[in-house]
Amino acid sequence: MSWSISAPLLRIVVTGAASAVMVIGVVRPAGREVWAQARAGTENAVVGTLSGYNVKTRVLTVKVDNVVERFVLADKASVHAGSRVLPASAIAAHVGHKVKVRFIESDGRRVAETVMVSRAP
């Protein structure tokens, strides 16, 4: 069995392949840059058990693998329990629940920007 491709069809295939290589070449450096920022620790997340929350100091403590991690809750932090948005003062009522904390580490401080609380302990 012999395959033959007409010249116009071959030109379309070659042009399409060249365009794909150009697009990949353009996208890849940006992807590497974003990946490098993520590895540099600009934004992080932990999952653990909520140990406590001090309303006055806005310090949130989370137990992760037998280590207690401390976070300062950002002024504009969002707190969620399922689809509900909670006030920061409600965090203390969820001690013992699983939480996911997204934070930024800045000047040696961990600043929590998002806290997601599970509904059940």
Distance CA 98, CA 120 (A): 8
pLDDT band at 120 (very low <50, low <70, confident <90, very high): confident
pLDDT band at 12 (very low <50, low <70, confident <90, very high): low
Cα Rg of the chain, angstroms? 24
Residues linked to residue 45 through DSSP beta bridges, in sequence order: 102
Neighbours of 76 (CB within 10 A): 6
**Over 90: is that where the pLDDT of 28 sits?**
no
Q: Which residue has the tokens 């290589």?
A: 21
31 in helix, strand or coil?
helix
**Over 60: is that where the pLDDT of 27 sits?**
no
Taking a C-beta distance cutoff of 8 angstroms, is the pair 105, 71 a contact? no
Distance CA 104, CA 72 (A): 10
